[in-house]
Amino acid sequence: MKRYSVFAVAREAARYHTGWERAWKSPAPKKKYDVIIIGAGGHGLATAYYLGKNHGIRNVAIVEKGWLGGGNTGRNTTIIRSNYLQDPSAAIYEKARSLYETMSQDLNYNVMYSPRGVMMLAQTEHEVRGYLRTAHANALQGVDTRFIQPDEVKKLVPIINLDGPRYPVLGALWQARAGTARHDAVAWGYARACSDMGMDVIQQCEVTSIRQTGGKVTGVDTTKGSIDCDKLGIVVAGHSGVVADMAGFRLPIESVALQALVSEPIKPCMDVVVMANTVHGYMSQSDKGEMVIGGGADGYNNYTQRGSFHHIEETVRALVETFPMISRLKMLRQWGGIVDMTGDRSPILSKTPLEGCFINCGWGTGGFKAIPGSGWGMAELMAKGQSPLTDEFSLYRFREGKFIDESVAAGVAH
């Protein structure tokens, strides 16, 4: 694989860009692999990448029924943070955040990581107490956050209205090294690195069944033929329940749509990410000037990837009081992604009842920020059978009552 650099750009410019090679290969599937990963989104590609980089397992196929990064990886609002209350959550999200900081250098691909800072507004006295508690917990976890007062909030976000009649801003939990990254670039960078290690990224290849013998996985049947494997990773986000059913077990998850929208591009006016959990909305400004706006998941189970009018009304209405200027903006586009929600709003990274089969799911509305940490832990779990990052996120915690309840801790699971 040719390295990207300023010299490569200059060289290709001189010869009219005729020498660029494909970023990743599109091979036909082989008969057998050591590991098959179902799902070529960020989490699946990161798992494959760290299997190769950290554990030397490179006879790997990543199969995707659609196009690479076409699911939730390309349908989110790109927020990266690690200021979670529970210790297992803080550990895996902080691992991810730290890996994002060096990802462009590690992958030789610009993922446009922007540590612009994330603030979570406290708009009730209850939230003030909750975020002070989280700040103390983060200090013990080694996660750099602090609670800031309204005057500092206004200094960081001049367009904010602190004195809303219903929900005044009483302060915020501030993580300065949190931020955003380009979602597509994360998938493309991992895919390029995986392909360079000799892994096969196979698109337009839907898994139709999972084969097993004596309680152990032996392979998958796909629309491009049967493929054997020694180990199987299921990393398919909102379709996890469907694929798990093929493997013969059920998951404690629900699939719902999470919607977002962007405004027309405007001049730079906000260079941090703001989350307002009381009114359930969050906003940042993209590099192109669009205001990226998101809210809560739909209140009913569905597999749609489209937007809806009620989401525009509920989310924008909630944010207008805190950011009056957005009332004058036009919406540019809207979309939805299918997220898989567990009862405690924490993920599942686990062995399964089918020997040799592992699953990574249940990220709900917080999947993008966890991609590198999730891939690191999942790769270690698949290679060694155990990982400190994933120990607490076992599928069996629901049977044992060992919940990691981020929905109660954070008030929102983003």
Distance (Å, rounded) from C-alpha 86 to C-alpha 137? 8
301/364 same-domain check: no
Percentage of the chain surpassing pLDDT 90?
80
Residue showing tokens 């076992």: 394
The total of structural domains in the chain comes to 2
Residue 227, Cβ density class (10 Å: 0-12 exposed, 13-18 middle, ≥19 buried): buried
- Residue 142 sits at the vertex; the CA angle it makes with 139 and 147, to the nearest 5 degrees, is 35
264/333 same-domain check: yes
337/261 same-domain check: yes
Residue 231 lies in a domain: yes
User: How many residues make up the chain in this entry?
Assistant: 414
Distance (Å, rounded) from C-alpha 242 to C-alpha 119? 36
Residue 7 lies in a domain: no
140/165 same-domain check: yes
Distance (Å, rounded) from C-alpha 283 to C-alpha 199? 37
Residue 38 lies in a domain: yes
Side-chain-side CA neighbours of 103 within 13 Å: the count stands at: 35
197/319 same-domain check: no
Distance (Å, rounded) from C-alpha 232 to C-alpha 236? 12
Structure tokens that stand for 414 in this block: 């983003």
Structure tokens that stand for 371 in this block: 């991609």
Burial 287-312 (b: 16+ CB within 10 A, else e): eeebbbbbbbbbeeebeebebeeebb
Out of 341, 360, 376, pick the residue that ends a domain: 341
Residue 12 lies in a domain: no
Q: How far is CA 3 from the centre of its chain?
A: 26
3-state secondary structure of 40: coil
Instruction: Report the 10 Å Cβ neighbour count for 161.
Output: 17
Contact 77, 282 (CB under 8 A): yes
Side-chain-side CA neighbours of 346 within 13 Å: the count stands at: 31
Contact 199, 62 (CB under 8 A): yes
274/332 same-domain check: yes
Burial 142-158 (b: 16+ CB within 10 A, else e): ebbbbbbebeebeebbe
Residue 14 lies in a domain: no
Structural domain for 328, as ranges: 111-178+255-341
Structure tokens that stand for 288 in this block: 């192109």
pLDDT at 365: 87
Residue 105 lies in a domain: no
193/240 same-domain check: yes
Residue showing tokens 């962007």: 262
Residuewise pLDDT in 10s, the chain (414 residues): 888 999 999 999 999 999 898 889 989 999 999 999 999 999 999 999 999 999 999 999 999 999 999 989 988 999 999 999 999 999 999 999 999 999 999 999 999 999 999 999 999 999 999 999 999 999 999 999 999 999 999 999 999 999 988 889 999 999 999 999 999 999 999 999 999 999 999 999 999 999 999 999 999 999 999 999 999 999 999 999 999 999 999 999 999 988 999 999 999 999 999 999 888 889 999 999 999 999 878 888 888 888 788 888 888 888 898 999 999 999 999 998 899 999 899 999 999 999 999 999 999 888 999 999 999 999 999 999 999 999 999 999 999 989 998 875 554 544
Residue 159 lies in a domain: yes
CATH at 326: 3.30.9.10
Contact 264, 329 (CB under 8 A): yes
pLDDT in tens, 124-149: 999 999 999 999 999 999 999 999 99
Out of 293, 324, 341, pick the residue that ends a domain: 341
Structure tokens that stand for 10 in this block: 């200059």
Beta strands in 93-136 (DSSP E): 118-122
Residue showing tokens 């030789």: 108
pLDDT at 301: 87
246/292 same-domain check: no
CATH at 36: 3.50.50.60
What does pTM read for this prediction? Answer: 0.95
Out of 291, 320, 341, pick the residue that ends a domain: 341
245/119 same-domain check: no
65/187 same-domain check: yes
174/317 same-domain check: yes
Contact 171, 148 (CB under 8 A): yes
Instruction: Report the 10 Å Cβ neighbour count for 34.
Output: 14
71/128 same-domain check: no
